[in-house]
Chains A and B, each alone.
Chain A
Amino acid sequence: MSGGIFSDLPARIGVLMVEEGGRLSQWGEVVVDFLIACMMLVVNLFPDRIVEPFQYPFMQRALLTSILVGMVCGVLSCFVILKRWALLGDAISHAVLPGVAIAYLLGLPFFIGAFASGALTSLGIGVIERNTRIKEDAAMGIMFTAAFALGVVIISQIATSTHLMHILFGNVLGVRMPVLQLTLFAGIVTLFTVFLFYKELLLYTFDPVQASALGMNTTFIHYGLMLLLTLTIVASLETVGIILVVAMLIIPGATAYLLVNSLPRMMLIAAAVGIFSAIAGLYLSFVYNIASGGTIVIVAAGVFALAFLFSPHGVLVKILRHRTAVQEG
């Protein structure tokens, strides 16, 4: 009976997904263990006082997650800065909340729900902007506050305020294996996509009209970049939380923007700033027993402040130049 085949199709797909998911997560575990081992080889080179916190497995997982998040956020933050998407990053990160809540209700991995609601909101912003006279900033304001409010309401019904706090501000010390695997997966997908479509992304951010004249599908690139942003935000949720992730999507790129004049170098430096802030922030938060997400962002902001003062495009150079110009003139 053909009806029979179709009626148990969902069940079959379900079984298949569980089996494949199991196999994938086995592989994921192996990869994660390998990465942690490599990481610890490097960590153990440092003096004992610094190494000490990282003897705990939960700290090792937290460190790997933070490094991944710092790196991926760093790379994407360059596009956020150059496309002036800071507000969009903020919007998507808030819009992720109802997805997390709904996924929790349905028993799905929260990753999927967050991705769906983030993507839907960013598409919704585009729809409002293109079809009405409302401009982009207001469209974002409407969509992301509405989504965020919906998320807060749902969560207040189903979970404790600790849960809400973890989602909003991160809980990197409590990162477990499945979340770490998803972060790793999202990171690899994002970095690989940026590598494969570097030409398209560069020309689209620099001169979208020429990108279109060369036959590139700019709509596709636009939404593709938004989806990558969503994926990264979701992957960073557990580390720095919804509210602070936007900092990691702006500060590393902004810092690198002050230092160099080529996009590949900007991405490298932004990734380095992201990784450094993640490691230093995690360490300081452990030592002084303070909130890890907040500490990571404060370290990043400190690095930016240094660049702001001392970089070739920074304030000190400008003042010095001004002074010599006045003296000579």
Chain B
Amino acid sequence: MQNVSPTMIERTRDRLRTVRKPRTAAAEIHAPAVKAENVSATYGGPLVLRRLNLTLPRGELIAVIGPNGAGKSTFFKLLSGVMRPNEGSITVFGEPVRFQRKRSAIAYVPQEEQIDWDFPISVWDVVLAGRFGRMREEGVPRRFLPPGFFTNGHRTAVRDALDAVDMLDLSRRPVGALSGGQKKRVFLARALAQEAQLLLLDEPLAGVDGRSAELIFDVFARARREGRTLVLVTHDLASAEKYADRIALLNRTVVAEGAPSSVLTMENLAQAFEGGFIPAKYEK
């Protein structure tokens, strides 16, 4: 056992990784970020999503818009693996969702209401949790260790991510003590630290002050330049029109999808929102 050097272990680990990967490499380069085919989903009652067909190309910022109960969050639940479709199939980068989840390819940035802000956890530890998937990839004895036992690479990733959202100074703060915008930035940092290729952002701009919003859009732009795909659910049509490469208008199924100017017509909006309330800030 003595003559097994760390480099040997690393080399073996790398070899194990390359054995697993090539099968998928070709598919991953050309496959769209998300491809949903004939997806239906229900919580036991009526269908929340009805034969949804949606293809989202990689490397873009995509806004998902629709009225309450249109199935936007359900769509996210399917992508994060909380729910399975009752019918149809969803692939992420050409592979079933569960494979990509195991590879830390999918990150989730929650809505503010979904988190218990009294939870005893610091900014640093929240972002470190983004590395848990990578830590679990390290093989059997190590994957069971608590996060404190993981060093170097993981810590650097956390520091870089916190730096990217300008939260490094506050890394020892409890998350509950932050402002709305800072909270969003911390969870965005978690997705960055995870090195995810598909970022799911639930209302990333709700309750965010001007400076934080600017910073968040900067991070979005950089992530997109790095080839990552960002999907955000939002009620803010004005920002969506301004920043998104693509908009998907949802109401149980896809009402319209494509470039913002072609999707955000009064006709489409009326159809999606069924003549009901069309979000403020968007009156042409």
Interface residue? B227 (CB, 8 A):
no
A137 to B133, CA, bound (A): 33
B131 CB, nearest partner CB in chain A, Å:
9
Interface contact A202-B81, CB-CB below 8 Å: no
A239 to B144, CA, bound (A): 32
Given contacts A82-B119, A206-B121, A206-B129, contact A215 B104 (CB under 8 A): yes
- What size tier do the contact residues of chain B reach? 35 or more
Interface contact A218-B82, CB-CB below 8 Å: yes
Interface contact A215-B110, CB-CB below 8 Å: no
A264 to B110, CA, bound (A): 24
Interface residue? A196 (CB, 8 A):
yes
A202 to B122, CA, bound (A): 12
A209 to B201, CA, bound (A): 12
Interface residue? B125 (CB, 8 A):
yes
- The residue of chain B having its C-beta at the shortest distance from the C-beta of A203 within the complex is B129
Cβ contacts under 8 Å, A215 to chain B:
81, 98, 101-104, 133, 136
- The residue of chain B having its C-beta at the shortest distance from the C-beta of A210 within the complex is B108
Interface contact B82-A199, CB-CB below 8 Å: no
Interface residue? A287 (CB, 8 A):
no
Interface residue? A198 (CB, 8 A):
yes
Interface residue? B135 (CB, 8 A):
yes
B146 contact from A195, A213, A218, Cβ within 8 A: A195
Interface contact B129-A213, CB-CB below 8 Å: no
Interface contact A196-B144, CB-CB below 8 Å: yes
Interface contact A198-B80, CB-CB below 8 Å: no
A212 to B114, CA, bound (A): 14
Interface contact B133-A214, CB-CB below 8 Å: yes
A202 to B107, CA, bound (A): 17
Interface contact A257-B132, CB-CB below 8 Å: no
Chain B, 83-111, contact with A by CB distance < 8 Å: what is the 0/1 string?
00000000000000010011110111010
Q: Is the interface of A mostly helix, strand, loop or mixed?
A: helix
A153 CB, nearest partner CB in chain B, Å:
35
Interface residue? B147 (CB, 8 A):
yes
Chain A, 173-208, contact with B by CB distance < 8 Å: what is the 0/1 string?
000000000000000000000011111101101111
Interface contact B125-A198, CB-CB below 8 Å: no
Cβ contacts under 8 Å, A203 to chain B:
129, 132
B191 CB, nearest partner CB in chain A, Å:
9
Cβ contacts under 8 Å, A210 to chain B:
80, 107-108, 110, 129-130, 190
Interface residue? B180 (CB, 8 A):
no
Cβ contacts under 8 Å, A208 to chain B:
82
Chain A, 154-179, contact with B by CB distance < 8 Å: what is the 0/1 string?
00000000000000000000000000
CB within 8 Å of A: which of B117-141?
A: 119-122, 125-126, 129-130, 132-133, 135-136
Using CB atoms and an 8 Å cutoff, list the residues of chain B in contact with chain A: 77, 79-82, 98, 101-104, 106-108, 110, 114-116, 119-122, 125-126, 129-130, 132-133, 135-136, 144, 146-148, 174, 190, 194, 200
- For this complex, 28 residue pairs linking A to B, each with C-beta atoms less than 8 Å apart, are A82-B116, A82-B120, A196-B144, A197-B144, A199-B136, A206-B116, A206-B126, A206-B129, A207-B108, A207-B114, A207-B129, A209-B77, A209-B80, A210-B80, A210-B108, A210-B110, A210-B190, A213-B106, A213-B108, A214-B133, A214-B136, A214-B194, A215-B81, A215-B104, A215-B136, A218-B82, A262-B121, A266-B120
The 9 closest A-B pairs by CB, nearest first: A215-B102, A215-B101, A213-B80, A214-B133, A261-B174, A196-B144, A198-B146, A213-B108, A212-B81
Q: A195-B146, A214-B101 given; name 17 further pairs at CB < 8 Å.
A: A197-B144, A198-B147, A199-B129, A199-B132, A199-B147, A202-B121, A203-B132, A206-B115, A206-B116, A210-B80, A210-B107, A210-B129, A210-B190, A213-B81, A215-B133, A262-B125, A264-B148
